[in-house]
Every structure is written in C-alpha cells, then in structure tokens.
Chain A
Amino acid sequence: MSGLLHGLLYGLPIITVVLTVTALGLWFERKFAARIQSRKGPTMVGPAGILQPLADVVKMLQKEQLTPASADRVLFELAPILCGAFAVATAAVVPFSPTVVAADLDIGVLYVLAVNALVLIPVWMGGWSSNNKFALIGAMRAVAQSVSYSVPMVLSALVPVILAGSMSLSDIVRYQAEHHWFALWPTIPGLPAFVLFFLSSLAEANRIPFDIPEAESELIAGITTEYTGMKFGLFYMAEYIHTVIASAVASVLFLGGWDGPFYPGLHWMVLKTLLLFASIYWVRWSLLRFRSDQLMTLCWKWLVPASLLLVMAAALFVKVGGGH
C-alpha cells in the first residue's frame, strides 16, 4: 500500500514535470531550429511564442479523428495510446534526485532498456494497421533499426553497471557521486560508452541522423502518415518524451545524475538532461540523413563490436584497477 502511495506521490508530479518539460522542449526546438536557420520561429502566442505547443495541442484535440476505412481499427486506435504510455513509463525509475524517484527498482537499468525496446511494438502496430504503404515501409525500417540498435545500447549500458556493480539507477548515481562520473573516468571505456549509448538511444528514438522511419522526403510522414489530430499528437509527443527520457537516462548512467556542487540535486539533473536534449537538436538540425542499409552497416559492423570491446574494457578496469 505504501508502495502505491509512494508511486502516486512521486509518480504524478514526475509525469507532470516530464510532460511540461516535453512541451517546453517542443517550443525550445522550434526556436532553436529557427535560430539555426536564421528565422525567428513562433512569436505570436505568449512571450516569444512559448505557448505554441499548447496551441498545437488545443488544436489537435479539436481535429476530427479519422480512421481509414481499410485500417485495422483496434490496432490503429491502440497504437498511439500504447506509444505514449510506454514512453512515459520509462520515467518511472529515473532518479531525478536522491528522493524524487517514482520507483527505485533494483533492476532499474534492465527496466529502462526493456521499456525502451517496447516502444517498438506500438510503432509497428501503427505502421501495419494504417494499411498505407508508406507507413508500412516506415514501420519495417523502424523495427529493423530499433532491434539492431538495442544491441549496442544494452551493451554500452552494461559499462556503468559493471563499473558501479549495481543495476539500480540510484546506486549507479550514488557510486558516481562518491567516486567519479563515468563519462570522465575511466575515460576508456567510460567516454566512448557514453557516446555509444547516446547514439543508440537517438537511433531508438528515431532522431536525425537516424530518423529514417519517418523520413519525410521519402515516406511523407512514415508511420504517422494516416494519423490525424491527437492520435498523431500522441506519437509526436511520445517521440519528444522518449528524447527527454533518453537524455535523462544518459545523464544518470554517465554524467553523475543529480551529483553536482552548490545546488540541490534536482537542478543538476534537469540541467544535464536539458544540455543533452539541446545537443540532440543541434545534431538534428545540422546533419543530413543516412540510408537504412547504411544505418544497419554502421550498427552491426562498427557499433556492436565497439560496444563489446567496451564491456570487456570495463570488466578489465574493475578487475585490474580495483573498482568496487
């Protein structure tokens, strides 16, 4: 019972914060992209257009919800809901500060990776049930990509697990707070593992240069081609939530989470998350896109062997350098 109470007490605020951060992230991305492109971006609603995501959501809620006649109705309706739910579910175990964590699981890392991989299922459901060829190709690409990139992602997440000797996210942060951030020391395998983990989570979240499942130039809108209104909105938001959570998890695993001087832990955690979040958009708005087979080559020929080596290096470091 107390577990449920704890979950509600921390879970609801965390979800609220995550959603707010996502909305702000949407606005931030549009302004940031506009600045990169020497434009102004949204300016008309609220100061500097900060209410733009709100206006978009209000608009999407009013749009007609269409289901194509030839679509698989149940899967089509279910997919965006599941997509949003799985994206938020990851936030449950992320420790935002020593106290603010909805569920401090002993196997937090495993949970995060597992739920991350689950997002694949609604994406496939959406693409398949739309009965649209562009959506189908997009979904096929998404599945191939997510399955492939799960491997280097899991392997690089193993590096902090081995170094800290725990699968609990809070324990990993505590270890880093006591000793050193894994992205800084041991530099090998820490820093490459951080970069690898970050790249793979970008690929999992379908961000450029890994956004081939919704490559607008080829596939119009990929899996969301047939989705209207808030159903599309859920996919759209899930993508951003996914990005926020991926940044948060990466900062927990490699950048010491809430650890930092002077200010309370939550501030540091949010700061690190936002920095990673911004860097994702920096990459997104300045790079072109890979082709799907090139992505697979990159994954299986370079990232997977590299991450295996990093896991070995981490084990070696613990054995020789005297970790825990």
Chain B
Amino acid sequence: MSVVKAKRQNPHFRLDLYEPEADLMVLNFGPQHPSTHGVFRMQLHLDGEKIVKAVPDLGYLHRGVEKLCERLTYVQITPIVDKNDYVSPMHNEQAINMAFEKLLGIEVPRRARYLRTIFAELQRMASHLLWLGTFALDLGGAIGGGASVFLHCFRERELILDLFEEVTGARFHYNTHTIGGNRHDITPGWAQSVKSALAVIESRIPEYESITLSNGIFFERTKGIGVLDGELALELGITGPILRASGVDHDLRRDAPYHAYDEIEVKVASAEGGDCWARSVVRLAELRESLRIVRALVDAVPEGPICGYKPIKLVGQVKIPSGQVYSAMESSRGELGTYVIAGGGEGNVSPYRLKIRPPSFHALSALPYLLPGHMVADAVVILGSLDPIMGEVDR
C-alpha cells in the first residue's frame, strides 16, 4: 500500500489572480442546507458550476463547551461532552474519562475495559450506519434512492440504540462512563440480544453494498472525486477513515492500544485512492470489522468489578492539584483527544483548561484543498465523505 499523492492546492488562493474575464458567482452554501450535515457554511466561488475557491465558515454551533468544562467539576463533565460528537456519544465519554484516569493514575478494571471496547465498537457501527445513510442522501436526494438507503440504515441503527437503551436507559447521551470504569453493568440477557442484533445487521450489510458500492452510479459519483494527498492529510491532523483511505495505515486502536484492544487483534481497513470512493470502502470495511470485534468480545467479558475508583457521591469529590495530560482514542471519525490542565476551580475540583481535539474539525480543514476544480454536486459528496459532525467541530 502506498500513500496517496495529489497536487496540493493553495487554500488562500487569490480570486483576482483567476482569469480576469471569468464572471464568478458567489454561492452561499449553508448554514441551513439539507446537505451540510448540521450548521456549516461554505462560500463557494463558482465559475459556471465549477468551484474556483471555497471559504468555509464554522461556529454556528459553538456552544462554549470548553469554557463550561472549566466551570464544572470533573464528575459533572461526562454528560456535557456527550453532546459534542452527538453521533457517537460513547466515544466522547470514554475519551474524557480516559484523560481524567490518566491524570489520576487509575487502573480501569478488566471487565470495564471489555465493556468499553464493546460499547465503542457498537457505537462505531451506529455511527458508520448513520454516515452511510446521510452520504446516500447526499448522492441520491431526500426524494429518491438515497432516502431508501438512509431509512434502511436508520432501521439497523435503531437496533444498536436499543442495545444501549437496555444497559443505560438512554437512546443517546448515555452518561454511562465514569472516572475509573462504568456506571451501568450489562443486563443478564444482553449478550444474547447483541448477538441477535449483530446477526440482523450482518445479513443486511450486503444489501447496503449492493445499493452503494456495487452500484454504477455510486461509483461514477465517488471515484476520483476529492482526492486527498496522504502527506497533506497528516499535516492537517486528519485521522480515522479519511486518513486510512489516503493510504496511511494508522489506527490508534492498533498503534497505541487502550481499553481491551491489546487483547484482540484489530484488522485496520485501509484503501488506496484517497477519494470519496476509498473513504466509503474503508468505512464499510470498518463496519464489518467492528461487528467481528463485538462478536468476539461479547462472550469473553470477564467477571469482576466495573469501576476501579471509589464510588462517587459528591460532585466535588475528584480533586486533581496539578498536571497536564493528553490522551487520545480512536472514535468513529478519528483521533478524539483530550488535553487537560488540572488545577482549576475551588479546591482543584475542575480542570484549569480542557481542550477537546475533535477529528471532524481537522477533516473539515481539508475542504479548501479538496473542493477547487470540482462541481457543486461534488461539493456535497466531498463534504459528506468527510463525515463532519458540527457539534464536535464547533464545540
């Protein structure tokens, strides 16, 4: 496998240096638009239907989460960060608690690590299913074949949400992780429900593939569109399926194991091409891989405690006087990192500064490089293939 090479555009390209006789049109794309995956705005400078320059504009969902975290105690932060990447809340909770555990130097019990791994992989499946649905919507429209794929994906996503609901009581925004482990243990018949849900999903993956990957129109629309240079992707800090689609074999689950990933082999899916097609291939392969991991782990969950820290009774109970820590995990979109500087608040109960490193923010920063030269219709496809979640981009 080789790293994808592509010509690098200048993102700060000056429009007055473009052909002087060209009559450019400015198209405002978003913040409210069916295909911007939330509230994202792009200013597209068009020559006919060809994009000359794209100027992204973020912040329409900037809710001040990092500032809020400086005000709250370590215990109170978990349910807040759930809302960042609202398509995979489990990953947010895990990432933030991993950082706090690293600061405190707490060992998570083996059972909790297994449960975290299973939750993370189920959430990855749910997230990729949602991505597939919305990507098909971008390609096929809300009134058309895209809607059919979308609704089928949602049907299977509901199965996973049901599993989470059984354990945590919530469809999303679970608040099930805590410092040192998990808050809710799995119910007795849960493993069996997981296996039957996985069987249904597995039987339907070929259905999705037949309507997407093996569909001629899908191929025509995605192949060679939005080719991302592998080196550029690294410099931009792009991680996850997008980086792997650009030919860089990198996955924190395998390369810097956490949870129980050191006990199970993760086959890292990657593809060559760096285009929307490769990103789709990688994500669908990850869907299958997550399915395999969950199936392997769900029967092997060891007995034992689910939390390695004393029970939390007060919101101000966790006190960390000093220290700076960066901890990262592989969310469905890539490296979800947390940088915590301890020692804030009255009696060191809050972080002094907390920065969340969202993979989608980095993915979006590739847009000014990817869009020029493509058509408006491709802009939607490229944006969809990056799978941004504005909640974590803007925070």
Contacts and interface: CB of A to CB of B under 8 A. Distances in A.
Interface string B32-51: 01110000000000000100
Nearest to B146: A288
B285 interface: no
B152 to A, nearest CB: 7
Interface in B235-256: none
A211 interface: yes
Given A217-B380, A288-B217, A292-B375, A39 B143 contact: no
B104 interface: no
A284 interface: yes
Contacts of A289: 139-141, 144-146, 217, 221
Contacts of B380: 217-218
Interface string A18-32: 000000000000000
Interface in B140-175: 140-148, 151-152, 155
A324 B232 CA distance: 68
A217 B146 contact: yes
Contacts of B378: 291
Interface in B338-395: 375-380
Contact of B377 (A39, A285, A291): A291
B137 interface: yes
Contacts of B300: none
A36 interface: yes
B303 interface: no
B307 interface: no
A292 B50 CA distance: 12
A37 B144 contact: no
B211 interface: yes
A287 B221 contact: no
B312 interface: no
B336 interface: no
Contacts of B25: 133
B139 A37 contact: no
A10 interface: no
B34 A208 contact: no
A209 interface: yes
Nearest to B50: A293
A288 B144 contact: yes
Contact of B141 (A211, A293, A294): A211
Contact of A216 (B27, B142, B218, B379): B142
A202 to B, nearest CB: 12
B377 A215 contact: yes
Contacts of B218: 288
A209 B217 contact: yes
B82 interface: no
A299 interface: no
Contacts of A216: 34, 141-143
B145 A287 contact: yes
B221 A290 contact: yes
Contact of B151 (A39, A134, A211, A219): A39
B16 to A, nearest CB: 21
B142 A285 contact: no
Contacts of B215: 287-288
Contacts of B220: 290-291, 294
B151 A284 contact: no
A218 B145 contact: no
A38 B151 contact: yes
A99 interface: no
Nearest to B134: A217
Contact of B144 (A38, A134, A218, A284): A284
Given A38-B152, A133-B27, A217-B35, A292 B144 contact: no
Interface string B202-217: 0000000001000101
B33 A290 contact: no
Contacts of B85: none
B116 to A, nearest CB: 33
A178 B25 CA distance: 58
Interface in A239-297: 284-294
Given A133-B25, A218-B35, A288 B147 contact: no
A208 B221 contact: no
Contacts of A220: 33-34
A106 to B, nearest CB: 39
Interface in B18-69: 25, 27-28, 33-35, 49
Given A289-B140, A291-B377, A37 B35 contact: no
A36 B150 CA distance: 12
A208 B377 contact: no
Contacts of B148: 33, 36-37, 285-286
A208 B140 contact: yes
Contacts of B377: 212, 215, 218, 291-292
B138 interface: yes
A34 to B, nearest CB: 9
Contacts of A294: 220-221
A89 interface: no
A137 interface: yes
B136 interface: yes
A248 to B, nearest CB: 23
Interface in A197-247: 208-209, 211-212, 215-220
A208 B145 contact: yes
A195 to B, nearest CB: 16
A217 B138 contact: yes
A217 B139 contact: yes
A284 B221 contact: no
Nearest to B44: A133
B223 to A, nearest CB: 11
A208 B141 contact: yes
B155 to A, nearest CB: 6
A250 B151 CA distance: 32
A37 B136 CA distance: 14
Given A37-B151, A217-B380, A294-B220, A285 B145 contact: yes
By Cβ-Cβ distance, the 3 closest A-B pairs, closest first, are A288-B140, A37-B151, A208-B144
6 contacts: A208-B144, A216-B143, A217-B140, A286-B145, A289-B145, A289-B221
